[in-house]
Amino acid sequence: MANDTCIRLQADIEQIKSCREKLKSNSKSFLQLGQVLALAGNEVRLKILFLLEEENELCPCDLSDILGMSIPAISQHLRKLKDGNIIEARKAGQTIFYSLRSEHLKTLRPFFKFINQQNLATV
């Protein structure tokens, strides 16, 4: 945070002040949305989320097969998604089924929509 040169001479001080306030009043949203986007911004996790939306629920073993990745790698991605409250777990015997939490569906649905639209466009 070196105070080198700024602020610039012709800067619109009012604009800068207003921007600072906008950030401040939305700070919670930026943190919250940023976390969800950071999780979805990994290609493996994006695929996992997409598959959970499509199939309703899947277990780590199935995801490992589908994505061609090791089980621990999948499990660690699932933990991140679970820690971020994006997915939840259901136990059935020794199998654990993961599914999307409805609270975040509103945020995620535009992504899925985008993917399905792209698919229609290219086929």
Task: Using CB under 8 A, list all residues that contact a copy of itself.
Answer: 1-2, 4-8, 10-12, 15-16, 19-20, 22-23, 25-26, 28-34, 37-43, 46-47, 50-51, 54-55, 58-59, 61-62, 64-71, 95, 106-107, 110-111, 114-115, 118-119, 122-123
CA distance 9 to 75: 53
CB 61 within 8 A of CB 95: yes
Nearest distance in Å: CB 114, DNA: 20
Instruction: Compute φ and ψ for 98, nearest 5 degrees.
Output: -105, 145
Nearest distance in Å: CB 88, a copy of itself: 20
